[in-house]
Amino acid sequence: MANKIGDRIADKSLTGEDEIICGCIDLSIEQFRTELKTHPSESFDDLLARTGAGKSCTACLLDLEYLYTSLPNRGDMPAANALQRKQPASTLTLKRRIYRFLDGLGLQVPYPLEGAAPILIGAGIEQRLTVANHSLMFEGNIAAPPIVYAVKVYDAQGNVRARQRHRIEMGESWRLNLTDMFPEEARANSFLTVGLMKVQWRFCAPGMRGNTRPQIEINARSGSCAVHTQRAGGLLERQVTLISHPTDQRVFLTIVNPTRRAMEGVFQYPVLDDDVEDIVPLSHQISVAAKGAAIHEITMDEMTASRVVGRPMGVRAVLNNPGYKMHVVYAAPDLGRFSIDHL
């Protein structure tokens, strides 16, 4: 077999078992079934390494894993293959053998997922939550079961601005305007303020995740950007490396705190790998209300800014509660265009 299954794909319509499951290598469900039958003792990781599936963008990994475990129970593939393809029990540690046994006792059940993201508020900015349950590659009917999304919106001080709940069936999408949930005077400000969006979603039945992860989109006067949501929490300290171009862009850091406890901490910058003369990182205090948010613009005195311009510099966040989510927001000087990413 070639390294890429797509090298030998037939020219036929994508319906039923010909539905593409890994778009990077044009891997169809039918081909995936054939590979499982041809190599019944192959582990999931070995299958991916041999075929190249799931190795590029990785967006299909959960769906490949779901098909890997579910396909043997369909059609002419014996259910025993599901066990044969797994790593032999004799090579597993006792702990993993116990976990495998316990996993085999349970039924498949859907469990809730959650994410948190900032809401940017200011003149000329419209921010939306976008979720979808379309078929993978927009062909056939490979999609998730119905999903119920629950959204809560808070202002920077942790006050509830809105609650929304929405069920999305297969093939549907939903866009929720988050900006309209804040006062008109805040939306007219020439400076940025920030709120918090919490989203939880639960699948109504076991199935594949598909493309159902919520996204936030920020539409401004001169452009748009988007990023998917992630669960908050994990670390007390985070660091990001930036390159300072103060004449071309402004850089903001946001902290959202979906927990019930207020947070205190500092942003420290510029953190330099090499000792540039006598530049010492300065600490900037931040406070984040429970279920609130905070925003900080990176600023330096003129002399420091001129000495680090165009050079990589670190920005460190240290808080007293790990339950936060941090985003970096690049903006045009007039706040007419944004780019956002999470840490």
Dihedral in degrees, nearest 10, Cα atoms 183, 223, 232, 236: -100
Residue 64 confidence (pLDDT) above 60: yes
Residues 270 and 173 in one domain: no
pLDDT at 141: 67
**Other C-beta atoms lying within 10 Å of the C-beta of residue 62:** 13
Answer with the one of 66, 85, 105 that is the final residue of a domain: 105
Least confident range from 111-115, 154-158, 200-204: namely 111-115
Q: What is the mean pLDDT of residues 135-164?
A: 87
Residue after which a domain boundary falls, among 105, 121, 144: 105
Instruction: Note whether 287 and 261 are same-domain residues.
Output: yes
User: pLDDT tens, 243-253?
Assistant: 888 888 999 99
Please tell me whether residues 219 and 251 are part of one structural domain.
no
- Both 175 and 244 in one domain: the answer is no
In a shared domain, residues 271 and 175: no
Tell me: do 32 and 95 sit in the same domain.
Answer: yes
Last residue of a domain, one of 58, 83, 105: 105
Q: Given pLDDT bands bounded at 50, 70 and 90, which one contains residue 143?
A: confident
Domain limits at 286? 237-342
Give, in order, the Cα–Cα distances in Å from 89 to each of 49, 115, 184. 21, 36, 63
Per-residue model confidence (pLDDT) at position 319: 96
Number of domains in the chain: 3
Mean pLDDT of 107-124: 90
Burial profile 79-103: b = 16 or more Cβ within 10 angstroms, e = fewer: eebbeebbeeeeeeeeeeeeeeeee
pLDDT at 16: 53
pLDDT of residue 43: 81
The CATH number linked to 192 is 2.60.290
Distance, CA of 215 to CA of 149 (rounded, Å): 12
Is the pLDDT score of 271 beyond 50?
yes
Please tell me the predicted confidence (pLDDT) of residue 72. 53
Please report how many Cα atoms fall inside a 13 Å half-sphere around the Cα of residue 200, on the Cβ side: 10
pLDDT computed for residue 4 by the predictor? 38
Pair 326, 238: CB distance under 8 Å: yes
Q: 223 and 257 in one domain?
A: no
Q: Answer whether residue 58 shows pLDDT above 70.
A: yes
> Are 135 and 241 part of one and the same domain?
no
CA-to-CA dists, residue 95 to 30, 42, 90, 103, 122, angstroms: 35, 22, 12, 12, 53
Which spans in 152-236 are helix H? Answer: 184-187
Report DSSP state, residue 87: P
